[in-house]
Amino acid sequence: MNKINVITGHYGSGKSNLSVNLAIEAARSGRHVTVVDLDIVNPYFRTADFKELFGEKGIELITPSYANTNLDIPALCFDLERIAAEENGCLIVDVGGDDDGAVALGRFADGLNAGGDLDMLYVFNRFRYMTRTPDEAAELFYKIETASRMKHTAIVNNSNLGCETTAETVESSLEYADQLSRLVNLSVAFSTAPKSLGMDDRRFKSIDVYVKPVWDR
């Protein structure tokens, strides 16, 4: 059965960086991995930026027709339902931010729901504008579900302050994550911590930071 991970959340919550990490992790396990960049709203910090890295790892990347060009037109010319139905693979769908970006996901809702073992993960960063309280994050959570016509299966705590993230930063987000979990009645799949912090703790999933601001590249 194909494993499907649909990644949603607020702009700047770290959806794309998590998608890259999940893709590389799945490829290392020997699965055929396909990443679909479904962000037709924001031309920056896309999984489409990692075409070369994915190629090195044997990961297939599918993007909107005009991704990484000067024409940022929402053109979706791929058969996502067929990809979702493939056997013994891993499909990762990086969705555009907020409910605006999730509208495109709704086009593929029926096929994704029928395509395999599906997890729809809501990624949040408690330090981002508009999701600084659990109530704000929950409101966006439900807006995304309405826009996409799909239901989340878990939430992911990706709270960080970029290059200023410390162990205390991620530790301080755990209570927020618990509060949001109760509000949306879903479990926290995991909380992330940059590998550079060396937090070998079962509470955290260590991830590499691939998506960086332009000034840090």
Helix %, strand %, coil % for the chain, to 5?
A: 40, 20, 40
| pLDDT for residue 110 | 84
> Residue 206 to residues 38, 185, 194: CA-CA distances in angstroms?
25, 25, 6
Q: Does position 48 have pLDDT exceeding 80, yes or no? A: no
Alpha-carbon gap, residue 54 to 8, rounded angstroms: 20
Helices (H), 3-114: 15-28, 51-57, 80-84, 98-106, 109-113
| CA-based nearest residue to 80, from 67, 68, 91, 96 | 91
Task: Round to whole Å and give the CA distance between 42 and 25.
Answer: 25
Lowest mean pLDDT among 30-34, 73-77, 111-115, 135-139: 73-77
167 CB-side CA count, 13 A: 7
Q: Which two tokens stand for residue 131?
A: 């999701």
190 closest CA partner among 97, 144, 145, 123: 123
* Ranges 38-52, 104-118, 180-194: which has the least confidence: 38-52
Query: In the numeric block, which tokens belong to residue 1?
Result: 């059965």
**The token pair that represents 210 in the structure block:** 């691939």
* DSSP letter, residue 91: E
pLDDT, one tens digit per residue, over 168-178 is 999 999 999 99
Which pTM was predicted?
0.90
Query: In this predicted structure, what is the pLDDT of residue 42?
Result: 61
- The full 3-state SS of 32-50, as one line of letters, equals EEEEEEECCCCCCCCHHHH
Distances 151 to 42, 92, 122 between C-alpha atoms, Å: 23, 16, 10
What domains can be seen in the chain, in order of their start residue? 7-87+121-216 (3.40.50)
